[in-house]
Amino acid sequence: MEKERMLGLFLISRWMEDVERGNPELVSSAVYGYTYEGRNITLLKLGLENPEGREKKVIWVDCGIHAREWIAPAFCQWFVKEIVHSYSTDKKLEQMLQNLDVYVTPVVNVDGYVFTWANNSTRRWRKSRSTPPPGSSCYGVDLNRNFNANWGTVGVSFDSCSNTYCGRSAGSEPEAKAVMDFVGGMLNKTLCFLTIHSAGQLILLPYGHPEISAPNYDELVSVGKAAAEKMEKVHGMGYTVGTSPQILYPNSGSSRDWARLVGIPFSYTFELRDKGEFSHLLPEEQIQPACEEAYAGALSIIAHVHDKAFSSGSLPNAAVSGLALIIWSSVMTVFLSTGVLSLTRHSSHEMTANIFHILFGPFTHREIEQQGASGSQDTEEGDRSRVNEGRLQRVRKRQTDERRPHSNQASHRPSPRGATVTQWHQPADDCQTRQQVCCTVCGCDSLLMKDM
């Protein structure tokens, strides 16, 4: 059996083209944004046609927000490979793919990932590669502190030389903005958001702020623990489940917290192997076992979400109305930044309900989510969703009319830095000669839990 290995961006891109070309009934690809340095941010969409013509729901999986965590992009590739190889003989998986579209981004922080492959001295780079702010010489932003979720309130740094530098403002970085814009256009049908990191062997659930709790906290814990049990059965490796403040450290501005805050009911961060011996420099002989156990955990969560949505007869819509989201985010940011909010996990539930009652009337925040699901077509999320769909249809038509020699050709056209676009690819007809990408991994470092 060929040993699994980490791949540089060139080979990941060629692999994405190959898997799309070989599985056109299941896989398509899209460019949905550009990095600071102008590279494509590309995803694979996995899904089968629904035999009843029913609207499909969405699962989001992303990897590689932190550049040095190479096992994360490796997992996204493994995840896609396993689904492609298994769905035709696994009736349960086939059913899920008929009801769900699974969007997978192997590398979000493309610039940072490329930089880690430059030489041994850059291997441990974590952040993006945006230019330093005025008066500084330090590049990059921690993209997992840049999302619009209680941004800048806890567990971040405003020093651009820090590994947890949160940027100049929420969503200031094109990579974070691309994810928020694209997923934000699908809020009315997105059920689950999984973001893959390393290390520590943890399953983290919202929220990173110690004084806020998700309204479905108990269910998030239960589903997370069920996933951890599945993971442990694969190779005996234990994974701890909890919020970041409970089992790691407080933080704000994470993609996981953003997803739950905007109404996606199930949102988790996976911190893959290991617990400190190798940390971000996981040896290649551990790629397969790490990915096998993570796949079991991810599939456990996705199966739960699917069964809850499609077994009850009522298809939940996760969206919060655009107005509610804007007001709620503003209120929470003010409360947290001014120190007004000082609550336990249980009392924060009551505070959440009271604020929603004041702003929106006498109903619970879960009812607000349900109203966002079935209510007005004039919501901000609905508008963005229709714009995305229209854009996809236009791009598909253009690609049918004009065959391009390579599916990544669109990345060469001029575009504003950080501009968010959605562009579905047709697989290339031919394969370029595979380029061997080599990197000598430097020695092991200790696990730096504070800046994971």
Residues with a known catalytic role: 271
Distance CA 304, CA 299 (A): 8
Return the DSSP state at 89.
T
409 CB-side CA count, 13 A? 10
Distance CA 328, CA 410 (A): 38
Distance CA 201, CA 294 (A): 10
Place of tokens 């540089």: 8
Question: How many other C-beta atoms are found inside a 10 Å radius of the C-beta of residue 251?
Answer: 28
Write down how long the chain is.
452
Contacts of 336 (CB under 8 A, 6+ apart): 150, 153, 154, 209, 211, 212, 252
Distance CA 81, CA 142 (A): 29
Locate all alpha helices (DSSP H) within 45-117, ordered by sequence: 71-86, 91-99, 110-116
Rounded (to 5) percent helix, strand, coil in the chain: 45, 15, 45
Contacts of 26 (CB under 8 A, 6+ apart): 46, 47, 48, 83, 84, 87, 97
CA distances from 161 to 69, 135, 158, 170, 171 (A): 19, 11, 9, 18, 19
3-state DSSP assignment of residue 60: strand
